[in-house]
């Protein structure tokens, strides 16, 4: 069984026990949980298309953009990467501009346990997707704010006391030990009290420190974690294949290595599952994708653009 060549997108997920993963390729969708333990193959056709505008490009930037679209993202003072530098209050980030639309919506600050404890931010509407994409096994919302810049300032204040990065290699090698995230939050509030008070005074009624919130536990469909991490790269090896041992974050864990699906967004690929191991349920019609996901097209509207680190 194989699909027609189509543009690779980040996997879509549903929070369940375990997380349910779907890989959409054009009009076809692969229910990845159903092919665990089976041999799969991803073959790169050699073509790359921008996931925003659809133009053919020789190189992908920021996980799916051509250089002109990537440059648009940088017009806002690198606020995609450094949200505290967002120029929202200068009137430069216009809400009707796809590159900056996310600057103007409510955000949350959270604690997550992925490769270890970390602090992070995301749009409120992106939960729990953001946690799953990072491979977090536990997560808890600790603050809400009005826009992305405020979330970035809060994260800067807190990362003096807690890590703000995920070690993707460690995340893929094991399930971390459970943590008491509520207790960690209380401890951070105590030591970061002064810095948080300054921000709350600067933005009264726009920053909320939550007093009661629940920890979300996330389990992933992993049959076996790798002892050693070998990153597979479609630009170096046109065909990546192996037994699918697990899925975590936006990674496929194969017996021969791991591959980040999100890293290769916009790459034209063909997915293959040996006919002897395929069932009718493994391949289904995707209701959220259309012909424009085929090679040479883009179905991404201005309101749907996905930017990493959001």
Per-residue pLDDT tens over the stretch 101-134:
788 899 999 999 999 999 999 999 999 999 999 9
Is the pLDDT assigned to residue 307 strictly greater than 50?
no
Res. 285 pLDDT band, cuts 50 70 90: very low
What count of residues does the chain have? Answer: 310
Mean pLDDT over 274-279 rounds to 59
Sequence-ordered list of residues with C-beta below 8 angstroms from that of 229, at least 6 positions apart, any chain: 169, 172, 173, 257, 258
Count the neighbouring beta carbons within 10 Å of the beta carbon of residue 130: 21
Structure tokens at 132: 């799953």
Give the pLDDT of residue 29: 87
Between residues 106 and 72, the one the model is more confident about: 106
Structure tokens at 296: 């040479």
Contacts of 283 (CB under 8 A, 6+ apart): 1, 3, 28, 29, 30, 31, 273
Q: How far apart are CA 118 and CA 247, in angstroms?
A: 21
- Give the mean model confidence (pLDDT) for residues 265-274: 91
């Amino acid at each position: 069984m194989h699909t027609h060549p189509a543009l690779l997108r980040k996997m879509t997920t549903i929070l369940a026990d375990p997380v349910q993963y779907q890989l959409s390729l054009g009009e076809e969708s692969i229910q990845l949980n159903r092919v665990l333990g089976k041999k799969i193959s991803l073959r790169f056709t050699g073509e790359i298309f921008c996931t925003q505008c659809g133009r053919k490009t020789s190189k992908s930037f920021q996980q799916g953009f051509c250089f002109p679209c990537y440059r648009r993202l940088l017009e806002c003072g690198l606020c995609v990467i450094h949200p505290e530098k967002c120029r929202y209050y200068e009137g430069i980030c216009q809400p009707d501009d796809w590159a900056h639309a996310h600057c103007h919506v409510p955000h949350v600050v959270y604690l997550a346990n992925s490769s270890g404890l970390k602090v992070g931010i995301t749009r409120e509407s992106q939960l729990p997707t953001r946690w799953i994409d990072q491979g977090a096994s536990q997560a808890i919302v600790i603050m809400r704010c009005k826009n992305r810049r405020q979330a970035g300032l809060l994260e800067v204040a807190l990362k003096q006391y807690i890590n703000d990065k995920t070690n993707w290699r460690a995340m893929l090698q094991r399930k971390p030990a459970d943590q008491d995230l509520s207790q960690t939050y209380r401890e951070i509030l105590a030591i970061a009290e002064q810095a948080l008070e300054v921000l709350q005074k600067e933005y009264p009624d726009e920053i909320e420190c939550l007093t009661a919130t629940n920890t979300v536990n996330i389990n992933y469909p992993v049959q076996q974690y790798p002892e050693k991490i070998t990153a597979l790269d479609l630009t170096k090896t046109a065909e990546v294949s192996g037994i699918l041992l697990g899925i975590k974050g936006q990674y496929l864990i194969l017996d021969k290595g791991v591959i980040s699906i999100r890293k290769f967004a916009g790459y034209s690929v063909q997915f293959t599952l040996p006919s002897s191991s395929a069932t009718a349920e493994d391949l289904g019609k995707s209701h959220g994708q259309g012909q424009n996901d085929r090679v040479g097209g883009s179905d991404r509207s201005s309101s749907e653009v996905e930017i990493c680190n959001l």
